[in-house]
Amino acid sequence: MIVSLKEMLQEADKGRYAVGAFNCLSLENVEGAIAAAEELRSPIIIQLAEVQFPCAPMNLMAPIYLEAARRASVPVVVHLDHGQSFETCAEAIRLGFGSVMFDGASLPFEENVRITREVTRMAKAMGVDVEAELGKVGDVGKDDDKADVFTDVEESARFIELTGVDALAVAIGNQHGRYVATPKLNIDRLIELHERNRMPLVLHGGSGTSVEDFKACIHNGICKINVATAIQVGITERVQQYLREAANPDYITMKGVIREASKEVVKEHILLFESNNRA
Ligand code: 13P
């Protein structure tokens, strides 16, 4: 069943667990993720990022996401991840996404506020929830900035007040992509951000985070954790193994391998995030 992001994250905040937000790039990916959530009785967020549109066009994926979410026996949020413009967020809403993220984190503060506020105003009018980002999450290997990349506590409070967002993605030493070494997250900053803001916080770049940091995040205000790379790595490894070992590999069996690999990786994360048996 489809539910709103706000509602799902408020439940997570109350129960002190996090909901996994999994980037799904194919039908098998979506099916595997939802099957994992159903098996473990967990709420789940399925999401697509704008940078992923070239391999998974939003207008083709939207009907798959929405139908799979409607049919699911657990609560599902269909979310646009890292929308890069007002127009992309509007298009996602038109296609039926129940929540959108506008990512203006690389913009100057005032510009991030201005566009996020426009997105929030439009989304609220359509009954859609909004996530935004403040601070520099960045990508593994791209050393964009040596300055303080962590989300600033006072700025976060101002940002939330000015924009009216429902969830805020924070930068606490996390990065997108395949980490070269396991990162050490700034949990002290997370605690300060959580104390200052009564608002569900989001951790991006979930893949490769240590169990210890995941637990510290969940227990200190993170209610949504984004995972993309771990699923792609899991699928690639299982497909490689299948192609190596099968006497006569075929495409239809391989689609099943992709579905199972997605399910396995999503299950692992649901258990880590303690969202099992919450649906
Ligand atoms: P990873 O690819 O590092 O898991 O990050 C996912 C993410 O944050 C998507 O927004």
- Site to probe by mutation for ligand 1, drawn from 23, 137, 235 as the one with most ligand atoms within 8 Å of Cβ, is 23
Could you give the CA distance from residue 149 to residue 69 in angstroms, rounded to a whole number?
35
Going by pLDDT thresholds of 50, 70 and 90, the confidence category of residue 268 is: very high
Locate the domains of the chain by residue range. Answer: 5-273
Tokens of 119: 């997105």
Q: What is the reported pTM?
A: 0.96
How far is the centre of ligand 1, averaged over its atoms, from the C-alpha of 157 (Å)?
Answer: 24
Closest residue by Cα to atom 1, ligand 1, is 205
Q: Give the pLDDT confidence of 73-119 residue by residue, as tens digits.
A: 999 999 999 999 999 999 999 999 999 999 999 999 999 999 999 99
* 204 CA: nearest ligand 1 atom: 8
Could you give the CA distance from residue 76 to residue 87 in angstroms, rounded to a whole number?
24
Is residue 146's pLDDT more than 60?
Answer: no
- Site to probe by mutation for ligand 1, drawn from 226, 232, 266, 269 as the one with most ligand atoms within 8 Å of Cβ, is 226
| 270-277 average pLDDT score | 98
Q: Give the pLDDT confidence of 152-197 residue by residue, as tens digits.
A: 999 999 999 999 999 999 999 998 888 888 888 999 999 999 999 9
Is residue 145's pLDDT more than 90?
Answer: no
How far is the centre of ligand 1, averaged over its atoms, from the C-alpha of 247 (Å)?
Answer: 35
Q: For ligand 1, which residues put their CB under 6 angstroms from it?
A: 23, 49, 81-82, 176-177, 204-207, 226-230
Q: Give the pLDDT confidence of 211-253 residue by residue, as tens digits.
A: 999 999 999 999 999 999 999 999 999 999 999 999 999 999 9
Q: What is the pLDDT of residue 180?
A: 82
How far is the centre of ligand 1, averaged over its atoms, from the C-alpha of 131 (Å)?
Answer: 15
Q: What is the pLDDT of residue 183?
A: 85
Q: Note if 81 is an active site residue.
A: yes
How far is the centre of ligand 1, averaged over its atoms, from the C-alpha of 137 (Å)?
Answer: 10
Q: What is the pLDDT of residue 149?
A: 83
By C-alpha distance, which of 64, 19, 52 is closest to 227?
19
By C-alpha distance, which of 140, 124, 122 is closest to 85?
122
Q: Which of 13, 81, 152, 166 is catalytic?
A: 81
Fold of 5-273: TIM Barrel (3.20.20)
